[in-house]
Chain A
Amino acid sequence: METRIRRIYVRLAGLLLAGAVAAPFSSAAIAQSDQELDDIISPDLERREIREAKIDSEDFEFTLYLGGILSVEDFGTDRMIGGSLAYHINEDFFMEAAYAQSTLGESSYERLSGSAPLLTEDERDLSMYNLSLAWNFLPGEIFIGSKFALNSNLYLIGGAGNTNFAGEEHFTYNVGAGVRLLAQDWLALRLDVRDHIFEHEIFGEPLNTNNLSAQLGVSIYF
């Protein structure tokens, strides 16, 4: 009985000893296999730092109308002044906020009937603003003679805004097209033709009018 117990002790001690001696070897073996796996698996890539370039952007365009005419239905054609600010979203699209002013002439009714004028002098002042989206759908070059070619854009444009005249506000849609000639990459000449569509009641009943404008402008990118 005693001997059996002693034998068990000896066995236990032996097992413990064996374990204690073997432990570092086994962990070393595991580490070694890890190292081998790492060599096989880990990517042979060096991560490269990427720095951002310090560079100015030039996405805005300011336009001043050198000359413009606005024809308001029944009120004749008059000079228009104004300007616009555009933001170029990408090479295909830009958005533009525009403002323009004009002073209207006499309507044909006033001239022919000889009656009292419909509008006071102040009410003949017209001002409008709009926000439009344009699509550069024909970029290319325009040749002047055989030596010079200017970069150009033909764009379609449309938007919504407000026209104030005859003491009233009129919600106004505009559609049109334009051409831009780039003399330098920061300087351009623009010609726009637009139709401003709004409804007024100056003659007593609602009338939907199409009012055409054409303006020549010089624009600067910044």
Chain B
Amino acid sequence: MNRQLGFRAHRGAVATAALLILGVLGSLSSSVYAQSETAEDEPVSDSFTARQFGERQPQTLSFDSERVIVGAEFLNLYTGPGRGYVIDHVVEYGEPLWLLKRRTDWVKVMTRTGKTGWAKIAELDEIYTAEGEQVAIPTPGIDDFYEQSFRMGFTYGDFAGANSMGISLGYRFTGNISAELRAAQTIGAYSDSQTYQVALMHQPFPRWRLSPYFLLGTGINITSPNATIVATEDRKDTAMLAGLGVTTYLSRRFALRAEVANHYLLTSREENQEIVEWKLGFDVFM
């Protein structure tokens, strides 16, 4: 009898406890539901698991690295800047990252625990500042090509039947006009020569996909005939240069270039010499 009563009381207590727990759970779940409705218009903030770290900062941080917050569901970090390296860390939504440096299409980042890794730029399309402003990682593109100042060029070509290899350093003053320092070495069957020139370039339509240009320049040609038997003298002549060519943007920092130029050598002999040079090359702009 007593035992029955006690048992009954006990059962009542269990029932009320169960009800209480259910009630608490119910209220919790409804608040969670309400939160998920409003989450869409809030800026990216710390995730639930990230909160246990609080505002932790890595110890070994350089002073100029930028802090961003991951807005994608997760972000893979590789051990090196390339597909072939290992993914050894994952950063989740809402965690802060510090951007250290970029190499090709990869960015080295540091997590709040001080771990570093490399993230693909294509996967960093959703990162935000603390104020909720979206951040993009700059990569070289066609705008840099239009806004270039200095450029380096490498060419390979045919200099009156001889192989010619050249480099150039160019500077763009305006959208249409640039100046170039050019040096080329040609290796032929009968003579080798070196040419050094300064030239002025004019691009009438810099925004065309295939943009033509005209060239005027002057310089010196040093010609040394190939003679293994007879000792010969090197000739040094002043040269005038006129040419036309076409340039087109390839990708990243590269532009392709084709050119034909007429060298007019003012020799000390009876008549002056004309040489036609064909060139194909590319420019790397900075």
Residues on B with C-beta less than 8 A from A161 are 165
**Of B102, B165, B185, which contacts A55 at CB under 8 A?**
B102
| 147-191 of chain A: CB within 8 A of chain B | 151, 153, 160-162, 168-171, 182, 185
Most buried by B among A49, A89, A153, A170: A89
- A59 to B101 Cα, complex, angstroms: 10
* Given known A-B contacts A89-B254, A90-B105, A151-B79, A53 and B138 have beta carbons under 8 A apart: yes
Residue from A50, A59, A139, A171 in contact with B84 in the complex, judged by beta carbons closer than 8 Å: A139
In this complex, how many residues of chain A approach chain B with their Cβ under 8 Å: the count is 37
A54 at the interface (CB under 8 A from B): yes
A-contacting 9-mer, from B11-19, B129-137, B171-179, B269-277: B129-137
Distance in angstroms from A157 CB to nearest chain B CB is 16
1/0 contact trace for A120-144 toward B, CB 8 Å? 0000000000010000101111000
Asked if A201 is at the interface (CB within 8 A of a chain B CB), the reply is yes
CB distance from A134 to the nearest CB of B (A): 13
Q: Which of B184-243 contact A (CB under 8 A)?
A: 185, 187, 192, 226, 228
With both beta carbons as reference points, the residue of chain B lying nearest to A94 in the complex is identified as: B104
Q: Within 8 Å of chain A (Cβ to Cβ): is B66?
A: yes
- The answer to whether the Cβ of B86 comes within 8 Å of any Cβ in the partner chain is yes
Specify which chain B residues have a CB less than 8 angstroms from the CB of A201 in the assembled complex.
228
Residues of A within 8 A of B100 (CB): 55
B87-112 CB contact bits vs A (8 Å, 1 = yes)? 00000000000011111111110000
User: Contact between A52 and B134 (Cβ–Cβ < 8 Å)?
Assistant: no
Q: How far is the CA of A171 from the CA of B159 in the complex (A)?
A: 13
Considering the complex, give the chain B residue whose CB is closest to the CB of A168.
B226
Query: Least Cβ distance of B158 to chain A in Å?
Result: 12
Pair A185/B81 contact, Cβ less than 8 Å? yes
CA distance A168 to B193 in the complex (A): 11
Number of chain B residues whose Cβ lies closer than 8 Å to a Cβ of chain A: 41
Is A55 within 8 A of B66, CB to CB?
yes
Within 8 A of A (CB), among B59-86: 64, 66, 68, 79-86
A56 contacts B134, CB within 8 Å?
no
Q: B135, A53: Cβ atoms under 8 Å?
A: yes
Closest CB of chain B to A116's CB: distance in Å?
A: 15
Q: In the bound complex, what is the Cα–Cα distance between A182 and B84 (angstroms)?
A: 14
The B-contacting residues of A in range 200-219, CB under 8 angstroms, are: 201-202
Residues of chain A contacted by B138 (CB below 8 angstroms): 52-53, 55
Q: Which of B103, B129, B187 has the most CB of A within 10 A?
A: B103
In the complex, A89→B105 CA distance in Å?
9
B101: chain A residues at CB < 8 Å are 55-58
Q: List 22 A-B contacts (CB under 8 A).
A: A48-B134, A51-B136, A53-B135, A53-B136, A54-B66, A55-B100, A55-B101, A55-B102, A56-B102, A57-B102, A90-B252, A91-B106, A136-B82, A139-B85, A151-B80, A151-B85, A161-B165, A162-B185, A169-B185, A169-B187, A185-B81, A221-B103
**B-to-A contact residues, CB < 8 Å:** 64, 66, 68, 79-86, 99-108, 118, 129, 133-138, 154, 156, 163, 165, 185, 187, 192, 226, 228, 252, 254, 284
